[in-house]
Chains A and B, each alone.
Chain A
Amino acid sequence: MIQKKICLIGAFAVGKTSLVQRFVKSMFAEKYHTNIGVKIDKKIVTVGESEVTLVLWDLVGQDEFKAVEIGYLRGSAGYLLVADGTRRATLECAVDLHTRAQDAIGRVPFRLLVNKADLAPTWEVTDEDLIKIAERGWAVGRTSAKTGDHVESAFVSLTQEILQAK
């Protein structure tokens, strides 16, 4: 079975962990985040006829006190950027993280997920913001940890792109 390392990055409290919780297999507790800044989960994705094991490195969110440990990105075949639709700053943070990630590990496939779609009326992120981002050629999905929309498909399409990139 093919295995791939995938990272999950974003600003603090964008709901990364709860976003993927329903879709992944976990054995490590949340406290690993605060202890060493990363938590490992596993996700099996079926692409075509083959199964791919994604080893998911869920990196602690970046806030004003703590920067994401870019070193953990080493060896990633791809990553998911997560932002919070109700806080515009998190989108900027995602763009910044993307730049830093590219500097560290080069161009690899990625997806931007803008979370908290269930709170759409209170969003600070506008459609225009997202259109601008999409114009850069980014794949953007609106997601909600409550409904789980677009999460599974983001995993599958990211995996497909990774396999094609090879």
Chain B
Amino acid sequence: MGTPPPESVMNETGEPSGAGEGNGSEQPDDLERLRRLLLAPEQKQIDELRMKLGVEAQTEAISEVLPQAMRLSGARDEQFSKAITPAVESALKESVRRDPTVLTDAVFPIIGPAIRKAIAEAFEKMMESLNQAMEHSLSVQGLKWRIEAFRTGKSFAEVVLLRTLVYRVEQVFLIHKETGLLLQHIEADHQSVTDTDMVSGMLSAIRDFVHDAFLMSKDAVLESFRVGDLNVWIESGPHAILAAVIRGVAPQDYHGVLQDARQRIAVKQRAALEAFSGDAAAFVAVRPILKDCLLFQVSEQKARRWPLLWPIVFLLLLLAGCGWLGWRHLEAKRAAEQQRASAEEQRARAEQQQAAAEQQRAADEEARNRAEGAKRKAEQAAQAAEEGRWAQCVDKIKGQEGIVVIEAARRDGRMYLSGLRDPLAVEPRQLVAAAGFDPKGLVEHWEPYYSLSPALTLRRAITRLQPPASVGLRLQGDMLIAEGSAHASWITESRTRAEAIPGVAAYDASAVLDESGAELAAKRKEIEETAIYFGEGIQLDAEQTAATRRLARRIVELQTAAVRAGRHISITVTGHTTDKGTELYNHRLGEERAGTVVGILATEGVQATLLAPVSVGPREPENPGATPEEDVRNRRVTFRVAIDPSNRNSPRQ
């Protein structure tokens, strides 16, 4: 400290009073009063001076320790930087407002080369991708790839990716070590995946097989195997196995990625892994970790000079223009900021006390950030759970017969499903709703196709053939077999329809009983057993007229049944007489009796063309050798029904 201590000032000014004390110590109060009276203005001046000196001394002292304090605080944590940031910012603003050139000049040497480099890199990348795109689109190789894309049904971009791929992790399985059951599975986009449960089991079986077959030691395990350009890498832990299906050659450090993922899962799911008894629901939470394992790398193709340079040069110029404008803008902005910085730095020194308050605010903000971070984490976990549910739902849809999912994705809260679907298959929308998603958010596109799976082929056969309840259908290989009983019309119809059903190669209806034959026979018997009895003439009494009408109804029924069975009927209506009288008379009488009956039948709705009236006179008595009393029963009309067995030329419906 460069200033003399205030005490010494006191002593100097208080010396006369000290002498006074020595002279008359019995009256100190008076002396003091006198001193105040005499020296009051000076005392005030001294106090003012002292205060002024104190501030100056403090400022000077702080200026000495400030740089070191800043260094120390900066080294300890970021609070100091946070505290001075607002001050520096406003200082920079102020500086730029006053004179932008100061900052511009200061930062130009740094920012100029950086921008040049960034632009050069951007151009290089663009050139490369332009070259690649042109080469792939127009070269012989590109043409080959286009053909391959067309042949395999993949998109061109996918084929290019596959062919330029160094490696890509296509699927990752998390498998329970002891049981070989699948805990979780994830696949890269556009990967078609076969039944993962069975694949998981088989992977475990192969692992066991290699271990046992080659009598390996207990610690030695299968770590990888390779088929063509497909590699499977296996990372084993005490409870779980992580298997990555990789197309191409992955770098060695990918082992590290798998190991890290496996360890993270082991830590996160320790309890669930140890207690696993078949319910893999808890492992949905590890999907983000598995997702981190789905890495890939594309080979860098060397850019070749492309002869058609003009369009590229034009593009380059355009981009250069944009880049230059952007650079200018950036340059001005950075320069201004720099200017502000230096100005603010000075003011910052004077405002350290304010900074302390700011520090407090920063700490509060940090706490708030932490709370926000926790909230974000919770949101992420909820999102992961939903993602798992979606994956399960998609798996379920994929497992349906008659549905081939080609694309399943969730973006921006909407679900997209597309692929092939047999019209008889389950509605995917229902499954989506059942999984707890709002089906309104589902955008689906299904190309209709015929699935040849037995279940759907059978369902299709039932829809097409509409078998009556008495007929059962089943499939044996690709032969459709009908069993039971049905009308001839259905049997005939089904024969023509069955073989046009996709998935049905042959049709066997030989085991279906023809119901119509029995039905028609029964009706025929009923009609043929009926006889209409006359008195002596050709008139019928009321009772027999009623019997004829009843008969008419039977005939109409038979006709309907015959039409349904595709048969044709005709009825001979035969008139009979007793043997009294001449032959000619009796013949006429028989004809007339038959005519009477035909007339009634026709008025009752029987088609007249079906009926053929004939007379046999007395030649066919009901009861030969009858007594005269019984002879009256020969005055009658009988019926004979012919059912045409061939259904050709028969009337239909």
Contacts and interface: CB of A to CB of B under 8 A. Distances in A.
Contact of B279 (A2, A36, A41): A2
A69 B279 CA distance: 27
A75 B212 contact: no
A3 B202 contact: no
Interface of A: 1-5, 25, 27-28, 32, 36-38, 40-42, 52-53, 55, 57, 69, 71-72, 74-77, 166
Given A38-B209, A166-B277, A3 B198 contact: no
Contact of B197 (A37, A53, A57, A72): A53
Given A3-B197, A76-B179, A57 B278 contact: no
Contacts of B194: 27
Given A3-B179, A37-B209, A77-B179, 9 more contacts: A1-B280, A2-B279, A3-B181, A3-B182, A5-B201, A36-B206, A40-B205, A55-B200, A57-B180
B205 A5 contact: no
B208 interface: yes
Interface in B193-243: 194-195, 197-198, 200-202, 205-206, 208-209, 212-213
B178 interface: yes
Nearest to A41: B198
Contact of A5 (B180, B279, B280): B180
A5 B198 contact: no
A28 B194 CA distance: 11
Contact of A57 (B176, B201, B206, B212): B201
Nearest to B194: A27
A28 B202 contact: yes
Contacts of B213: 36
B181 A69 contact: no
Nearest to A5: B179
Nearest to B178: A75
Nearest to B210: A36
A36 B208 CA distance: 9
11 contacts: A3-B278, A4-B181, A28-B198, A36-B206, A36-B213, A38-B205, A42-B195, A42-B197, A42-B198, A55-B181, A57-B180
Nearest to A24: B198
Nearest to A37: B209
Interface string B72-86: 000000000000000
Question: Which 4 pairs between the two chains have the least Cβ-Cβ distance?
Answer: A75-B179, A40-B201, A75-B178, A36-B209
B278 A2 contact: yes
Nearest to B392: A1
A13 B425 CA distance: 38
A40 B198 contact: yes
Nearest to B177: A75
B202 A40 contact: yes
Contacts of A72: 205, 208
